[in-house]
Amino acid sequence: MESGTGTRSGSASGAGAGAGSVVVLGIESSCDETGAGLVRDGRLLGHAVASSMDEHARFGGVVPEIASRAHLQSLRPVVREALDRAGLALSDVGAVAVTTGPGLAGALQVGLAGAKGIAYGLGVPLYGVHHLAGHVAADTLEHGPLPDPCMVLIVSGGHTSLLLVRDLARDPILHLGDTLDDAAGECFDKVARVFGLPYPGGPAVDRAAREGDPRAVAFPRPLPGTYDFSFSGLKTAAARWAEGHAGRVLPVADGAASLQEAVADVLTRKAVAACRAYGVGTLVVVGGVAANTRVRSLAEERCRAAGITLRVPPLGLCTDNGAMIAAVGDLLVRAGAAPAPLDVSVDPSAPLEYAALHPGGGGGLGAAA
């Protein structure tokens, strides 16, 4: 496991502390990154990430038991590193936010247990946060409050969604489209294996594509004319193309560039079309696949042509991290949201309806059905 580094954007005595302001500690453990971050009044004070990616790489994907054990080993050091980067003591924390879903059940349990212990020991409120809402909120740490409304494209290893977002802490989130099968990140991972590229597939495809021709292979653009996504057929088309080169040298760079172009084309075309259809002037692209160079460049090109403002978090905030969970917690605290009940539990398949996740809640602010 590699110990990650955090981005220092403030300190214990830094700007952003107002009357009654609260330092929120965020904890993320939904998959293979253990993250902790500290946010106050919309400002990132410090964060740290430890990844167990190397331990999963030899299996070609995340192994839940390995992920859970890695979280157990990393949680305390990561929280300590985030506090050190922020120049804070644990006693400075005034609220704790933690990912309660979706994600791997065992991994989520580790983070929630740790968060409950910290919140109980400090006597501060605990907020259960939806993982995808965290990705949305990550952008606020770089670019400030989200416009109301804004269009959000979430693209990650397990999720591809197009959302109409208003007040993230108070209002329900409107799903315009979701993946019907493989998400964009899954497509990259699975095709990378067929191409003989290492795990994780997204960065490997991105690197290989730099030497290739994005027009070399006419891969399909799935589900035109809708806001839903489907990358299973594209994955199969890429696999069939690779199989067609049996006995010959596979032009991996061309295949990677063409695959990446197809994914970026589908994602950005649908997102810009949704912005136009709903009269929204800002597109926010978040999640691990938002780090892909072609997704970022094509989004910039198409948003500029359409007169749409594009917001994408810095690379360090695109992948899973605790800062994004702290950002949601900070929004909930400032909105006056009720903390999670004492018996809050994880929900590995939680739908994204509100930023806060209160399993069994009865609707309203912070409840998820």
Residue appearing with tokens 């019907």: 180
pLDDT at 66: 87
Task: Express the helix, strand and coil content of the chain in percent, nearest 5 each.
Answer: 40, 20, 40
- What is the pTM (predicted TM-score) of this model? 0.90
Residue range 235-293, pLDDT digits in tens: 999 999 999 999 999 999 999 999 999 999 999 999 999 999 999 999 999 999 999 99
Looking at residue 32, what DSSP letter applies? S
Contact 27/99 with Cβ under 8 angstroms?
Answer: yes
Q: How confident is the model at residue 14 (pLDDT cuts 50, 70, 90)?
A: very low
| DSSP H stretches of helix in 210-292 | 232-243, 252-278
Phi/psi of residue 199, nearest 5 degrees: -90, 140
d(CA 25, CA 90): 9
Contact 200/289 with Cβ under 8 angstroms?
Answer: no
Residue range 40-56, pLDDT digits in tens: 999 999 999 998 766 76
Report the percentage of the chain scoring pLDDT > 90. 84
- Number of C-alpha atoms within 13 angstroms, CB side, residue 44? 30
- Phi-psi bin for 265: left (phi > 0), alpha (psi -120 to 50), beta? alpha
Burial class (CB in 10 A: 0-12, 13-18, 19+), 241: buried
Choose among 7, 6, 4, 111: nearest CA to 52.
Answer: 4
Helix-helix angle 232-243:252-278, to 10 degrees: 160
Q: How confident is the model at residue 9 (pLDDT cuts 50, 70, 90)?
A: very low
Looking at residue 200, what DSSP letter applies? S
- Number of C-alpha atoms within 13 angstroms, CB side, residue 299? 28
Choose among 2, 36, 327: nearest CA to 169.
Answer: 327
Torsion of CA 210, 214, 219, 225, to 10 degrees: 110
Residue range 325-364, pLDDT digits in tens: 999 999 999 999 999 998 899 999 999 999 998 643 433 3
Q: Reduce the DSSP state of residue 31 to 3 states and report it.
A: coil
Q: How far is CA 40 from CA 10, 14, 86, 314, in A?
A: 10, 10, 11, 19
Q: Which two tokens stand for residue 131?
A: 């993982």
Q: How confident is the model at residue 5 (pLDDT cuts 50, 70, 90)?
A: very low
The average pLDDT across 177-183 equals 95
